[in-house]
Structure 1
Amino acid sequence: MEREEAYRKIAGLRKELEDHNYKYYVLAQPEISDYDFDMKLRELERLEAEFPEFADPYSPTQRVGSDISKAFDQVEHRYPMLSLSNAYSEGELRDFDNRIKKLIGEDFEYVCELKFDGSSISLLYEKGKLVRAVTRGDGVKGDDVTVNVRTIRSIPLTLRGEGYPEIFEIRGEIVMPFHVFDELNKEREEAGEPLLANPRNTAAGTLKMLNPSVVASRKLDAYFYSLMGDTLPAEGHFENLQQAGEWGFKISEATQLCRSLDEVFAYISKWDVERHKVPVATDGVVIKVNSRNLQEELGFTAKSPRWAIAYKFKAENVATVLRSVSYQVGRTGAVTPVANLDPVQIAGTVVKRASLHNADIIKNLDLHLDDTVFVEKGGEIIPKITGVDAEKRHPMAQPVIFIEKCPECETTLVRSEGEAAHYCPNETGCPPQIKGKMEHFVSRKAMDIDGLGQETIELLYNTGLAKSIADLYLLKKEQLSVLERLGEKSAQRILDGLTASKEAPFERVLFALGIRYVGETVAKKLTNEVHTIDNLIQKTKEELVEIDEIGDRIAESIIEFFSKPEHLGMVDFLKKQGLQFQVSEDKLSNRTDKLKGLSIVISGTFEKHSRDELKQLIEQNGGKNVGSISKKTNYLLAGDNMGPSKLEKANKLGISIISEDEFLKMLDG
């Protein structure tokens, strides 16, 4: 065969096979038999082998995956992959709806989508070709699993049609269909291998396998639910999803535009029943504001978008027997009781333990040992006991009595007024607290010390090399390299990570200290206000509560933390090691008081800056970003396509309306 003829034949087969692939895996409308498809695929493989100069990584033949093992590189997400807040009742959805109406004060639409139970994925496409596939990871960065995702036949390697952006991301869920999961478990049973727990865990595990050819054999599927990019075709989320379907992506036909909360409730009622007919696992419904402009206006909390919520279907509830109660101690000293149960299958997984949360829960349930209890997965994730079958209780059964002493260090537990939990006050001598504080300190969102994870912290503690956060900065290479599972390279990696942590900004250092109630967002608020750790230590409770979003509980916790000599000593030691306990000069040099005391609402789209950049400018200049207009609002920063209700409300309250240029002149002045 001549080269030109071979090229034409190869190109024709590729297009034909991709068309059949799309009709089979995305549309579920096959036009040829599996046998005919395989014959055409073999013919293409033969031609590509005979004419290797026409090789193409996007050819249908490349979906089978090679058997070359490789570790996964970590990639930072361009847009964070945040989790959704959950709702379990109509009342919680009404609260969500009211919050949005209060913030935007205008008519809007919702999009309802089935919440598929699998492994989240983010795909990057450039010029119509799949470039990268990254797992959710920790929300900021994930694993590059492109080589495995390319084997999933419902994911287009090259896009169909036209009108797609030059570059964009699309997010979805990698799932394992029930029939594939059942076939896989049948094969394992016949081979005498342990059975897999459920399709969700199996899909996630498959996606992280090091052998792409095995991934290909697992027949994973994918549904997509979100587009992200600067030049998307439509202003509406629903409309963008429909476009994505035209480009070859598998968009659930259950996705629906809803114009009222009543329509949302009707959708939930329908799919709470119909979901059992869906070929993959679902555990709820995701409700999103349709308008992308309104999504941007509503913004995000530290953990989740304000414009979306996940309604979870009622969890499966089963009966089993409570055999004993054990107790866990967390890094803050909180003691959590855990029920040890006869193993029972719930929502596809075997459950042996369930959280009892605190002493009040045990008391209210009137728990006795060997009780028959009802267990469900809260949100289908964390098992919990919801009730007791008292009629089956043995007359001699012993009640469960909450412990008085710490199970780890024997210190008498305390319970503060108004608190639900019991605490072990021995924070400097209780092993789980010490290790927990170190694990928190080295975690990614805190000091992000490479090479120090839970197992290594455990090893350092057990060998006596680290009994506190301060001890980490005294570690030597010769001490580390001789430890089990470490060696020269791992030891150097830990030391390099400790050195690099000295460059972490003040807000992360403050968060890393583990002050109760001081999370990431609060730490940032505090450092923006106080600038140095010494200023924070000297603040009174009255001065702390004057800081935006700092209430009595947080203020009291900060005062208590710095009242202890051991904490002051640790801060002093860490200062001497070179950690950052003040806001950098560069950051301070950009700060002014030009907007001090002013509350500003941003609405619409802008020419010179993004909304996030404008919010940052407001904060840098001492102002306060607020989401909704009230009598306390000083300015409405108005852009194009802003909500008419906001404009109306601003005019009604006599609030000054300024343009982007006027705002920038305020800063220049």
Structure 2
Amino acid sequence: MTANAPTRNPYLEEPPTEFDPVEELDADAAREQARQLREAIRHHDHRYYVENDPVIGDRTYDALFSRLQDLEDNFDLDREGSPTQRVGGEPLDELASVEHVAPMQSIDQGGEVQDVREFDDRVARGLADPGFDPDDRTYFCEPKFDGLSVEVVYEDGVYQRAATRGDGEVGEDVTENVRTIPSVPERLRGEYPDFLAVRGEVYIPTEAFQAYNRERIERGDDPFANPRNAAAGTLRQLDPSVTAERPLSVFFFGVLDSSVDFPTNSEVYERLPEWGLRTTELAEAVDSIEDAIGYRDRLLERRDDLPFEIDGVVFKLNDRDACDALGSTARAPRWAFAYKFPARTEQTTLRDVVVQVGRTGRLTPVALMDPVEVGGVTVSRASLHNPAEIERLGVAIGDEVRVQRAGDVIPEVAAVVESNSEGTVDFPETCPVCDSPVERDGPLAFCTGGLACPAQLERAIVHYASRDGLDIEGLGEERVQQLLDAGLVEELADLYELGQLDLTSLEGWGMQSVANLQDELEASREPPLDDFLAALNVPSVGDATATALAREFGTFEAVMGADREGLQAVEDVGPKVAEEIRDFFESERNCEAIERLLEHVDPQAYEVEGSDELDGLTFVFTGTLEGYTRSEAQELVEAHGGSATSSVSGNTDYLVVGDDPGQRKREDAEENDVEVVDEDEFASVLEERGIEN
């Protein structure tokens, strides 16, 4: 790193939340830390508000934000352009921008009871100056919904438009999407005001969220991290019909502007339902801040039983004239405060288990849970790995479980903390996708449907057409899914029966793209045997093993008919791999799919091209070579009659070592007395046998 290179920002990924006391910093260190925090907070704002994909938990974000405020306060730093002076993120480019009728501000917040009492003290001091009696202050309490804030405008009782909060001044126009939400009336009821702009929170109920995530997992999509992300992603759909299919709901909780006055915030809650606007029954007026704290504690106890996610409560001064007198800072009203709940850290409730079918047919149980913060990241699903792990844990729906990050990457259920039901999760005996029998292999479970299983078919087609398969351009994941959704492809062979009219009827397919795909498919009808074997995605058969099988047996029919002993005679094929290959070709449904495919595809018999100067020699390559890629070196060896394998054994003659070689292969070479050569020595071996390098 050069002397002028910027330091890595520690607050972008897995940020620390323990800071040195502000008093121990000098001015330069404070300015640099504030710069990094502003950069990080803008990054996390974008991930949260724009991409709907946060990478840190709320409490971690709050700690970063609070630290920035402390630095700005204690060192009198310039706040212009700081995240502490504005709200949220920028509107999305894909949606039109809308200016709000009144600012949609954020709310100051804290997670400690002392924060709440300090807020109450500030309110009391602020009310004394404009002539209000501080002793008469009362509060209105409401849940802090974990959804997406929207402004909804009515004129003469008719729904006009809706917008997201955006940056607080300008939001995204989501009028047509919000119109699809059943709890948003097209017309107001009763004696409504001539003009009304209300603030609401769009959310997805917990049960509906879990059901929706189950559907996403079963079709191979990534689930949403939490209901808030699901609501935000749904509301920002460009196609309102997609929004209409998803279970959005809304609570209204504030008036931004109106042609009528509301003396108190509690009256807002009384009047809105009269006009058909939904409010929560959990809101409550209280006489003091201590009563408000008691309200919060009672709601915290009910949190897990509520049908929607809340992450705290909001206290508002009830008298709206007093609210106007207190006014606002640049980013938040002085008359409101959010008392945040503690994050659900590592312990949560298991709500459902869905079984995911992988490309190889392996069935993986996935736990769907109430969102929980694990290692600074909010997660709502975790792996249960396999049926044996379910039995070991003794886990069942409704249990309180502890979640941890496996290898700091994949969340997993680590233990049952409190059992709330009898028995364990019933693992299916048939594939949840194709209904084929499920077979157990030790602790694992597999669908026997093979190429005939739709869950495996999508991935099988993508692999078949990939560079690791037959390299058929124009058949990426999106287009394969399009073909499956349209019912045009139900097995691999159907690719070769696609007609021009079939394809041009699909969105995004023009005559040229159809012609290109048909040319690619035509060119793949006579593939090399090793490419065809790799394209079928036989378990444990990658490029090297496919080539070894092709060289050993010569024809596809011979590979299909090879017994376990014959397969084990092939380099790099041990007993387990041989059994997997036999199981694949002995599957009745796989055989049916392959038989249909062979009506269109004729894999060519394998012929060793080139000379035999290296006949009888086996090479293994490790590390990075300068003269060619590892695959090019392997092809060179094979073109001259030698073998190139991926692992060192007693049959290996040379281990060719490049830069950054694998230690395991060097140890295996020493153990098996295999000669180790560098790239120059490898070139000498070739030269000695008359091979020009």
Give the structure with higher Rg (CA). 2
Bigger RCO (CA 8 Å, 6+ sep):
1
* TM-score of the aligned structures, taking structure 2 as reference length: 0.45
* TM-score of the aligned structures, taking structure 1 as reference length: 0.47
